[in-house]
Amino acid sequence: MGEILRALEKMAKPGVSGLELDQKAEEMILAAGGAPAFKGYRGRLSEPPFPSVICFSLNEELVHGIATADKIIADGDLVSIDIGMRWPAKSADVAGREQDGYFTDTAITIAVGKVPAEQKKLLAVTKQALEAGIKAAQPGNTVADIGLAVQSYIESQGNYGIVRDLVGHGVGHAVHEEPRVPNYHDKKLAKWVLRPGVVIAIEPMIALGGHAVQVGADGWTITMADGTRSAHFEHTIVITADGPVVATRRPGETQS
């Protein structure tokens, strides 16, 4: 997954469409022996199936943007790319019975061309907040500890909108599983202890303005209600006895 996201990051230049990135993502996922996790996904029957392989969101679009041919990257854009993959697409258990593979989920926000310093800082703060959450994902800690670490770091860096209506989640056997993994401290989740074998997606989502979001007319794209620019970073984390292992690191990704 990390290699695929790195390739898409390098492609994200002015003039490139969401559809081009989407097609490349599908090609690479299939070549790796996986299957797209988002294409056709619906959280509930009342929702339309998600139509693209990646979530492709621009500027004030926070998450779940649809990758289309008429959505074209311009100089100065903030581009968020979110990928889910099941790998392997099919496998066999010890008895030779066919079974589905495991799910991972990862995202990045990229500044294309010249963007103001406050937007560069927004990306840096969101990425570092993810690292703070990963560090807190120690066996014996709780999901509440992750949210506290993410929130505390963001609030130490300035006045940002920490999105509350969307959260990280368990992942592995399905695209979305329990537990919820908020980017703020939720004391109720102090009961949810992290044990070896737990797999979660930590994904800080913050904006330059408020935290309120709204769903677009397509039924999927979630934007900041006040129109301010936003950022989203995500990794899939496996809790082990020795600490958190990041399953979706990108080649050459700087860790802290």
Model pLDDT, residue 146: 98
Alpha-carbon distance 1 to 18, whole Å? 18
Provide the residue-wise pLDDT of the chain in tens; the chain has 256 residues: 999 999 999 999 999 999 999 999 999 999 999 999 999 999 888 888 999 999 999 999 999 999 999 999 999 999 999 999 999 987 655 555 566 789 999 999 999 999 999 999 999 999 999 999 999 999 999 999 999 999 999 999 999 999 999 999 999 999 999 999 999 999 999 999 999 999 999 999 999 999 999 999 999 999 999 999 999 999 999 999 999 999 999 998 876 5
Alpha-carbon distance 235 to 217, whole Å? 28
Distant-in-sequence, close-in-space partners of 187: CB < 8 Å, separation ≥ 6: 144
Radius of gyration of the chain (CA): 17
Alpha-carbon distance 25 to 224, whole Å? 26
Model pLDDT, residue 93: 56
- CATH assignment of 2-246? 3.90.230.10
Alpha-carbon distance 113 to 13, whole Å? 8
Model pLDDT, residue 91: 60
Domain ranges of the chain: 2-246
Model pLDDT, residue 12: 98
Model pLDDT, residue 44: 83
Element (H, E) at 132: helix 117-136
pTM (2 d.p.): 0.95
Token duo for residue 194: 């992290």
